[in-house]
A = this chain, B = another copy of it.
């Protein structure tokens, strides 16, 4: 099937055999373009920073490793985000008495204030994105999202296991690049391997 209309192409992809993954990814990608860029421009802060700030304000005293569970991202990304938040005086990282390796995170008043500002804009944005649904639909969508989010295979896949290796790739030969040092386990994110 052929078409030249971008909207028709999008509609067709979102109705294909990969409709579910493509649809939800499209929504989040498109929203990220708007939201992340806005927060970056207005507050000079990448997305992982205000995610971390949100969590810290919501759960004062949590540890960096808890953030990995709330916002699945590489561990060093979280570490740097916290360093930035601390450098800006938005959070405090205090050594944990029970475990000297860990640090407990607490928002400063400035951090709490800034988050309140961001939260307000984010709420408006949320209503903008989900406002096309009526309130019953919104409730339904949220409930289904939660069901998906708590599914056991979302984070621990069997069809795409962590230890999968490279396939033969019989037909590349033409790329000078070729060497990639990937491998090994997933530091940080997983609780077991």
Name the one of B29, B58, B191 contacting A71, with C-beta atoms under 8 angstroms. B29
Question: How many copies altogether?
Answer: 2
- Check A125 against B9 for contact (C-beta < 8 Å): no
- Name the prevailing secondary structure of the A interface residues: helix
Write the chain B residue with the least CB distance to A74: B33
Interface size on A, residues (CB 8 A): 110
- Check B144 against A140 for contact (C-beta < 8 Å): yes
Residues of B within 8 A of A192 (CB): 32-34, 36-37
Tell me how far the C-beta of A144 lies from the nearest C-beta in chain B, rounded to whole angstroms.
Answer: 5
What are the 5 A-B residue pairs with the smallest beta carbon separation, nearest first?
Answer: A33-B192, A38-B160, A132-B151, A37-B192, A23-B145
